[in-house]
Amino acid sequence: MLLGIGNPLLDLTVNGNAELLKKYNLRENDAIIAGDAQKSLYADLMENFDVKFTAGGSVQNSLRVCQWILKKPNICIFMGSVGKDKYSEILKTEATADGVNVIYQYQDKVPTGTCAVIITTHQGNTRSLCANLAAAERFTIDHIRTPENRKYVEQANFFYISGFFLTVSPDTAYEIGKYAATKNKVFITNLSAPFICDAFSDRVMKTLPYVDIVFGNESEALTFSRKQKFGTTDLKDILLKIKNLPKENKNRSRMVIITQGHHPVLLAKDNEVLELPVPPIPKELILDTNGAGDAFVGGFLSQFIQGKTLEKCIECANWAAAHIIQNSGCSFDKSISFAG
């Protein structure tokens, strides 16, 4: 059983342009939490753009993809905080239909979080994410301590908490991490975004001793290296340095997995870095890169929790990401199956 904890968000996806990004101080292929400069963004999108609503939130997306590939419901459990509104109903309906066992913490006075996903095409298909966490940032550690929810923590053998969640309830991440290390269970995280590796680096570093698998992309890895003063921009060196950071559970060696778009996936294990090729996808088939990283993690975990080889895990990860980027948002054709 895989337990994920994260920020459940309803994605508002639009086809935008460079002017829209500039207006709200956004950048391509970046992810931020909404600030004062983005206050009117969501109303602007609703009023002036053709908005597509899809279930979102990094961890929830990964678990939905994992369940899609596994074809067996309730292997994945997701916890996060939402409002008591129509948006949370949409999220729960979609996630449950995909096979995820959703256990939300509900907030009475705060709406469900949303994430603006702006797709631009003037430099190839890119996405810019701007999250308004709202209810998602009200998650409290009490939710994992209630008897009815604690049983899921105890039943799980794998835990996935993203870096994004460290902005919300780092104590929850630390508690789950310590529990996993003590019980020799697998704790997985994601660097998530450059701003997480920078502004929240202290929380990342406090979590890492408990982490068995670290996911990220090249921009996150480079930001992490700069913030931690690794003194290198060589990705392979960075992976090995992250891998060799202090670790609580000595029974498991840490793995670090970094994606680079269409360039090879880098995987640090033991004292070597493997380069694993990414099958090419014709540019004209790429519709929306939002969710590619989430799908990669979901695909990987779907095989990893079954004890498959790392090569098979990466193969499935690339397969899932390739499928997602040919659809809008983190959505998929449930009739398609991974042939591995």
Buried b (16+ CB within 10 A) or exposed e, 65-95: bbbbbbeeeebbbbbbbbbbbebbeebbebb
Q: What percent of the chain has pLDDT over 90?
A: 81
33-90 pLDDT per residue, tens: 999 999 899 989 989 999 988 888 999 999 999 999 999 999 999 999 999 998 899 8
Give the orientation angle of helix 58-70 with respect to helix 86-97, to 10 degrees. 30
* DSSP state letter for 100: -
Rounded CA-CA distance 135/173 in Å is 18
Domain ranges for the chain, please list them: 2-9+55-112+135-324
316-335 pLDDT per residue, tens: 999 999 999 888 777 788 88
pLDDT at 330: 77
Nearest Cα neighbor of 82 from 132, 136, 33 is 136
- In the sheet where 126-132 sits, what is the strand order? 30-33, 126-132, 113-120, 9-15, 52-56
192-230 pLDDT per residue, tens: 999 999 999 999 999 999 999 999 999 999 999 999 999
Nearest Cα neighbor of 199 from 248, 174, 232, 166 is 166
Given pLDDT bands bounded at 50, 70 and 90, which one contains residue 122?
A: low
Tell me what the pLDDT averaged over the chain comes to: 94
175, pLDDT greater than 90: yes
Stretch 224-242: mean pLDDT: 98
pLDDT at 285: 86
Stretch 258-283: mean pLDDT: 94
290, pLDDT greater than 80: no
* Catalytic residue (one of 85, 142, 294, 333): 294
Residue 294 annotated in active site: yes
pLDDT at 124: 57
Helix residue ranges, H only, 10-85: 18-23, 41-48, 58-70
3, pLDDT greater than 90: yes
Does domain 2-9+55-112+135-324 match CATH 3.40.50.2000? no
pLDDT at 64: 95
123, pLDDT greater than 60: no
